[in-house]
Amino acid sequence: MNLNKFYYFIVALLCSISFTACSDDDDKQAVPQIKLAASMSSFGEGIISFDEENGILSVSKEGTLTSNITLGDAAGADMDGIALKATVPAADKMWCLANCSKNRLSLSVAKNNAENARQTTVEISALFGDQVLDTYMLIITQKGVEKEEEPAAADITAFIIPGQVSSKIDYPVITVTMPAGTDVTALKPVVVPSEGATVTPASGTVQDFTDAVQYTVVSSDQKNVKTYMAIVTLQSGGVNPPSGGGDEENPNYTTFEMVTVGAGSFIIGRDLSGTYVDKENAHKVNISAFEIGRYEVTQREFKDVMGYNPSVNKKSDLLPVHTVTLYEAMLYCNKLSERKGYKPVYTFKNELWDATNTELYEADVTRDKTANGYRLPTSAEWEYAAKGGPDNENQPYYYAGSNDLDEVGWYRENSIVGEEPVLHVVGLKKPNSLGIYDMSGNVEEYTGEWLLQLGYISDAEETDPWGPEKPRDEDRLVFSRGGCFSTYDTNCSNSNARLLGAHIKTDMGYPGGDIWFGNIGFRVVRSLK
């Protein structure tokens, strides 16, 4: 009887223990599995966009106050018992605050008064008790105050009428002086507006300048409009007929006068007139803006800067300076740069001077391409300017400004006085479309480009080519461009008046070697980029 009682006691005890354990298991809740995802019911004020997949919220510079972002399980599981907590970096709490209420995120982003955009990250944690189940990272980006852009330029940078004596732009008035007797009822101006701008009437449109003609320029962004009035006046009396005997005058001449040549492109070596085939490997060259002498450097200018005149024919100080070495031309450029407050381009070493230490015959030269001072043009710049600069495609000329050499240049057949061809005062012939004189004949003109070879090496596109850094050999050959008063136009081996013509000159040969003596001078350029 006692054994039975003990047996029943043991069974009852085991059942009680088993029941208690089952009750404990039922009371303990399983940890849920959560993958947080965010959605926005509607875009409130100040919300630009919301990338739900990547968690990127874009806010305007005005900021926002919104409670439209809801957090939940990506698979739609029940969020009961799960709390959400939002945390913003301490450094960003001055402009961004975030708080979670149940499954909704309340967000406040202050106005951004700075130009720079700003960004922060809101970390949203799903908590089950003290356990972090998942974290959702919300990236907030806010635009800054947009900097007001200045409107694009709407200017006329060049206004040239073929055959003009002078052209001056003083906004809003453009004044062009034409030779006496010019018919002003049908003139065809070349008008160059600022980059990207449009001008009406368009460049090359024939106009009657009996009265002032209005030109309207609209900037590339359509935000800037300017109106110019172009007025044509006639020169009283005109330029005196050339005599060549020292009696010539040019009352319109101004010392150190420069012409702006706008940036653009052209095909170097291409015959625009269609008279002859292009040079081998003719190719595209991009040219930055520069300014170039309206006239070849005169004896007056050279003596003013250098203190002496090396020329042989000194009948007028408005004759081009000649019998000048390449180094003298470069030194002139440096001294003129210093006078005008610009940085010189050339540096000389191992100079060789004449006995009086006045004329520079020889030197080793380095060039600073970044300098803003005066220098000799490159061969490409010279041809680009001679062809009319940015408007070169619309000027199918064989010479600089005409297909008739008698109009624009001095050569042997038209420069004879008495029995011999002679130099003439600068600026007596018709200029090209940019208002540049004598590019097809008076004296040949030095370029600052050392000879590499006669033809173009390649047809590859170039930008602002300067040629070799140093002479290729001991002869130190350099290109010259432009026609000469003493050569025949009909003799192709001698003529350099054509736009594609180029001669080779040595930078040596003191004192006045045949290869440069008496028929070569120069004009200057200055980079504007």
Q: State the Cα–Cα distance between residues 48 and 57, nearest whole angstrom.
A: 8
Q: State the DSSP string of 232-274.
A: EEEPSS-SPPP-SSS----TT--TT-EEEE--EEEEET--TTS
Average pLDDT by stretches of 10, the chain with 529 residues: 52 48 51 89 90 91 92 89 92 93 91 92 92 93 82 89 81 87 89 92 93 93 92 63 60 92 92 78 93 96 93 91 90 96 94 79 90 96 93 87 87 81 91 93 90 82 93 79 71 40 41 53 93
Domain limits, CATH 2.60.40.10, in the chain: 36-142
**How far is the C-alpha of 328 from the C-alpha of 324, rounded, in Å?**
6
For domain 152-236, the question of CATH label 3.40.190.10 is answered with: no
Among the CATH numbers 3.90.226.10, 1.10.1060.10, 3.90.1580.10, 1.10.240.10, which is that of 243-527? 3.90.1580.10
Q: How many residues appear in the chain?
A: 529
What pLDDT is attached to residue 199?
Answer: 95
How many angstroms separate the Cα of 178 from the Cα of each of 72, 154, 165, 296?
Answer: 83, 26, 5, 21
CATH 2.60.40.2340 in the chain, residue ranges: 152-236
Q: Of 230, 233, 238, nearest to 179 (Cα)?
A: 238
- Is residue 399 within 8 Å of residue 414, measured between CB atoms? no
CATH architecture designation of domain 36-142: Sandwich (2.60)
Q: What is the pLDDT of residue 241?
A: 39
pLDDT 10s digits, 408-457: 888 888 888 877 888 999 999 999 999 999 998 899 899 999 888 777 88
**Nearest residue to 469 via CA among 341, 368, 327:** 368
Task: State the pLDDT at residue 7.
Answer: 53
| CA-to-CA dists, residue 212 to 169, 217, 224, 435, 498, angstroms | 14, 16, 22, 21, 36
> Which residues, in sequence order, are bridge partners of residue 215?
228
What's the pLDDT at 518? 66
Give the Å distances, CA to CA, from 213 to 184, 229, 391.
Answer: 11, 6, 21
pTM of the model: 0.56
**Can you give the pLDDT at residue 247?**
64
DSSP H or E segment with residue 227: strand 225-234
Token couple for 113? 């008064």
Residue limits of CATH 3.90.1580.10 in the chain: 243-527
Residue (of 440, 425, 488) closest to 243 by Cα position? 425
